[in-house]
Structure 1
Amino acid sequence: MKTYTEEIGDKLNILLEKNYDAEKGYTTASNNAKSAALTTFFERKAIQRKEFADQLKIELISVNQEPTTGGSIAGAAHRTWMNTIAWFSSDTDEAMLEEAMRGEKASIEDYNEVLNASISLPLSIQKVLSGQKKTIVNDTLTIKRLEDLA
């Protein structure tokens, strides 16, 4: 049976891995975007997700858990898919925005799952996760506006 801190570590490492994946995905999207505004948006999102990962690493260390060091196989497959979209799609920006929205919605679900888990999280971790989730939710509104312009 896992200890309390191991359970917290597992949950935070799942989010950490997904933030690594998101950072790499947004970097891929910024490299494939046609519009300068969208390139800037995706670059900002990649930086933001790196910052989220850094915050999660600090929280993991604070509960004496080892942060994971890389993304997931599913994330690598998704980046390959985004490159394929960029290669074959005539409307790359719109397709990448749709993928970004899908990814952000999945992130919100992941954060909700951890925040609503039966395990009681330390207040500092709750604050970090709630703040990150709020930022992601707000960015879905930005993505919707960008989709309307694309």
Structure 2
Amino acid sequence: MTTTTLTTIDTLNELIQVCRDGAQGFHAAAEAVGDSKLERMLYDLSGQRTRFVGELRQCVLRQNGEPFGSGSLGGAVHRVWMSLRDAISTRNAITILEDCERGEELALSAYRDGLATLVEPDVVQVVRAQAIEVQVSHEQLRTWRYERMCRAS
């Protein structure tokens, strides 16, 4: 394997870990949020991240790599999503959404970093499309949080 291919596989595996953490974090948030509309949206985001994992795994396999590895950024994202557990215990929707937003910010950073290292057009296309969806979900989370803050005041 070439150095470029190995870098691509490592980058994709980091994104797989980021998406797995996101799927678990959104699922936990959905179970705890106590608002049926918001719950459905968070479950949808969890499902989206699970779909992303599948797409990224396919990219790794096309590179003749072994899907899923861990990277340092994956650890940072994981820590943010695990801090969500503390917010969940309060069942405070605003706090849960703040933590979800923070996780999305780190995910966006991982996608930006990943896109800076990827060169294969088919892989770039998949990762870029996912990054756009992460950006949209980040903006949705911010809107949902803002709406709840306005209601609370």
Common fold, TM-score beyond 0.5? Answer: yes
What TM-score results when the alignment is normalised by the length of structure 1?
0.87
The letter for the 2-side match of 1:41 is: M
Aligned to 1:103: 103
Deviation sequence 1:5-49 (CA, Å, 0-9, x none): 111111110001111110011111111111111111110000000
Residues in 1 aligned to 2:18 and 2:83: alpha-carbon distance in whole angstroms? 16
Structure 1: which 5+ runs fail to align? none
Q: Deviation at 1:73?
A: 5.6
Structure 2 CA distance for partners of 1:42 and 1:21, relative to 1, 3 Å? same
Aligned to 1:25: 25
Does the 8 A contact of 1:29 with 1:42 survive in 2?
A: yes
Does the 8 A contact of 1:30 with 1:39 survive in 2?
A: yes
Q: Deviation at 1:68?
A: 1.3
RMSD after superposition = 2.1
- Greater fraction helix: 2
Structure 2: which 5+ runs fail to align? 149-153
The letter for the 1-side match of 2:5 is: T
Residues in 1 aligned to 2:96 and 2:75: alpha-carbon distance in whole angstroms? 20
Aligned to 1:134: 132
Residues in 1 aligned to 2:137 and 2:49: alpha-carbon distance in whole angstroms? 12
Higher mean alpha-carbon deviation, 120-129 vs 39-48, is at: 120-129
Structure 2 CA distance for partners of 1:57 and 1:78, relative to 1, 3 Å? same
Does the 8 A contact of 2:77 with 2:103 survive in 1?
A: no
Detail structure 1 runs of 4+ shifted over 3 Å in the superposition: 69-80
Aligned to 1:11: 11
Aligned to 1:85: 87
Deviation sequence 1:98-123 (CA, Å, 0-9, x none): 11111111111111111112xx5211
Identity %: 19
Aligned to 2:94: 94
Structure 2 CA distance for partners of 1:122 and 1:48, relative to 1, 3 Å? same
Q: How many residues align?
A: 145
Helix, strand or coil at the partner of 2:66: coil
Residues in 2 aligned to 1:30 and 1:44: alpha-carbon distance in whole angstroms? 9
Instruction: Say which of 108, 113, 121 aligns to 1:123.
Output: 121
Does the 8 A contact of 1:25 with 1:78 survive in 2?
A: no
Deviation sequence 1:56-78 (CA, Å, 0-9, x none): 00000000010017896655544
Higher mean alpha-carbon deviation, 53-62 vs 131-140, is at: 131-140
Q: Deviation at 1:81?
A: 2.3
